[in-house]
Structure 1
Amino acid sequence: MKPAIAVVLLCSLLAVSSAAEKFDFFYLVQQWPGSFCDTRQGCCFPDTGKPPADFGIHGMWPNYAKCGRGRQEELATGLLEEDAVAFLSGVGRRGKCWPEYCDDGNALSPWEIRDMVASLDRSWPTLSCKSGRSFEFWSYEWKKHGTCSNLEQHEYFARALALKARYNLTAILAGAGIVPSDTATYSLSSVREAIARGTGATANLECNRDADGNAQLFQVYQCVDREGKKLIDCPLSMPTKCSRDKVKLPVF
């Protein structure tokens, strides 16, 4: 293969590896505000005031079903051996598990989401102390993840909100006896089973630690089809960051 052609092919493959249309599913990530705030670093409420005691959306993130070295090898299939080696060397051994920042020029427009601001304030609040302005949080999530979603701005946020409303995690867990408490603990298996029963799909869980070092249920990763409309069983497992089976769901 001529060097010039090889370079063109390698550049094309590098572009394909991060192209938005190549992702396999979304993670709809929701976080429990009590667990976000009950840490050593604490939290800050947005300019709209304290959010409700409800799981809030962190983001809806396009994700690959395969990632890391395996995904890069898949992309290199079909190249001559020496070109494949060069390609894999160029992208490195730690391929990302998701596309990101697919269109830096596509900034979130307040006009595009004007009809859902109240819903976003309630269901997608920021608790970070870096900024109390929720629009900055939504803009960041759109720029990093939404621009890779193959959805328009309004569609992206509307579909995340619709999924959250359809499968109310707070109510689903409460129906299984898993309610916020400063003393009670719950098994991870009971949380997983409650979510699977209530939504019809498996999910991944993430824990963090409170100021005393106790494990808390922090985030739920629900997997969604590429259209952002339907929950699916998660094709990937992920580390829970939970050191033991028992976790807290702190009061917010």
Structure 2
Amino acid sequence: MFILQNNMVKGQYLMLIFLVLNNIVVIQGASSGLAYRLAMQWPASFCSTLSTKDTCIESPPNQWTIHGLWPKKSFNIGDISESTRVQLAKLWPNLNASSNNEQFWKQEWKKHGSCSNLTIEEYFEKAIQLATLYNIYNILEKNSIKPSSKIYYTDKEISESIQKVTGYKPEVHSTKKQPFLVSEIRFCFDQAFRMMDCNTTYQLNPLLYLEH
């Protein structure tokens, strides 16, 4: 753990938010067919990397949110029940104000989840189920890892704190420029959605888990 030595300009972070982008990325497994990766993205980090032409939504949720569960089937919003859409608006919002939630969900559905045998409704319900079950904010908080603009953690510290609860190693991703911000955490699953270790290498860079 590293303590930030210089005062940081908090004003630049006021518009930053948590994104829990919980993504379930469908990938092709070498020996077990399909495998899934549940990726959680932190909104504060997402907003800090937006280009000048893009802005965050006015009132982003104060939680981790879903990025995407990604099959390549045609998207029809009518195939998603109203109750599921209400949950998606909370757990899987589009943080970029230049487009709406439905456009974001459609993009994630079409772009990333090829090989999924799930229907549209099943796909989004599964994302909600996993995002709720593996609540990253609560898991980290139980291990005394909390959002801050002054305290640095390593990816190894964050990964091991999650592994204490789930029993499996996640992937910890960060932004590319300093100060490095915790941007996304991914859980790996087999075809039956049983959690498994992710194949990851620690970078050990000092990371900020940016506060809201």
Give the shorter-chain TM-score range: 0.7 to 0.9
- Residue of structure 1 in register with 2:78 after alignment: 110
**Which of the residues 104, 119, 123 maps onto 2:87?**
119
Indicate how the Cα distance of structure 1 residues 55 and 163 shifts in structure 2: closer, same or farther if over 3 A, else same.
same
Secondary structure, aligned partner of 1:26: strand
For residues 146 and 176 of structure 2, the distance between their equivalents in structure 1, rounded to whole angstroms, comes to: 18
Q: Which structure carries more helix by proportion?
A: 1
Indicate how the Cα distance of structure 1 residues 51 and 231 shifts in structure 2: closer, same or farther if over 3 A, else same.
farther
Q: TM-score, normalised by structure 1?
A: 0.64
- The answer on whether the counterparts of 1:38 and 1:250 sit within 8 Å (CA) in structure 2 is no
For residues 112 and 179 of structure 1, the distance between their equivalents in structure 2, rounded to whole angstroms, comes to: 34
Indicate how the Cα distance of structure 1 residues 201 and 135 shifts in structure 2: closer, same or farther if over 3 A, else same.
same
Deviation for aligned residue 1:209: 4.6
1:58 alignment partner AA: H
1:251 alignment partner AA: E
Deviation for aligned residue 1:116: 1.1
- The answer on whether the counterparts of 1:167 and 1:198 sit within 8 Å (CA) in structure 2 is no
1:107 alignment partner AA: F
- The answer on whether the counterparts of 2:40 and 2:184 sit within 8 Å (CA) in structure 1 is yes
For residues 192 and 113 of structure 1, the distance between their equivalents in structure 2, rounded to whole angstroms, comes to: 35
Check if 1:245 corresponds to 2:179: no
Deviation for aligned residue 1:44: 3.2
Indicate how the Cα distance of structure 1 residues 225 and 54 shifts in structure 2: closer, same or farther if over 3 A, else same.
same
Deviation for aligned residue 1:223: 0.6
1:25 alignment partner AA: A
For residues 137 and 23 of structure 1, the distance between their equivalents in structure 2, rounded to whole angstroms, comes to: 27
- Residue of structure 1 in register with 2:67 after alignment: 58
**Which of the residues 144, 156, 167 maps onto 1:177?**
144
For residues 185 and 144 of structure 1, the distance between their equivalents in structure 2, rounded to whole angstroms, comes to: 34
Secondary structure, aligned partner of 2:165: helix
Tell me which moved more, 170-179 or 106-115.
Answer: 106-115
Percentage of identical aligned residues: 29
1:29 alignment partner AA: A
For residues 163 and 193 of structure 1, the distance between their equivalents in structure 2, rounded to whole angstroms, comes to: 20
Offset from partner CA, 1:37-96 (integer Å, 9 cap, x none): 1236376344xx5232211111234xxxxxxxxxxxxxxxxxxxxxxxxxxxxxxxxxxx
Secondary structure, aligned partner of 1:197: helix
Secondary structure, aligned partner of 2:182: strand
Q: Spell out the pairing of 1:1-252 with structure 2 (5 A cutoff).
A: 23-39=33-49, 41=51, 44-46=55-57, 50-61=59-70, 101=72, 103=73, 106-131=74-99, 133-209=100-176, 213-227=178-192, 229-234=193-198, 236-237=199-200, 244-252=204-212
Indicate how the Cα distance of structure 1 residues 201 and 152 shifts in structure 2: closer, same or farther if over 3 A, else same.
same
Note the residue ranges of structure 2 that are not aligned, 5 or more in a row: 1-27
CA RMSD of aligned residues (A): 2.4
Deviation for aligned residue 1:151: 0.4
For residues 128 and 190 of structure 2, the distance between their equivalents in structure 1, rounded to whole angstroms, comes to: 15
Question: How many residue pairs were aligned?
Answer: 181
- The answer on whether the counterparts of 2:65 and 2:91 sit within 8 Å (CA) in structure 1 is yes
Q: TM-score, normalised by structure 2?
A: 0.75
- The answer on whether the counterparts of 2:152 and 2:206 sit within 8 Å (CA) in structure 1 is yes
For residues 159 and 124 of structure 2, the distance between their equivalents in structure 1, rounded to whole angstroms, comes to: 26
Deviation for aligned residue 1:33: 0.5
Offset from partner CA, 1:109-146 (integer Å, 9 cap, x none): 33423221121111111123541x01111111111234
For residues 25 and 201 of structure 1, the distance between their equivalents in structure 2, rounded to whole angstroms, comes to: 15
- The answer on whether the counterparts of 2:40 and 2:65 sit within 8 Å (CA) in structure 1 is yes
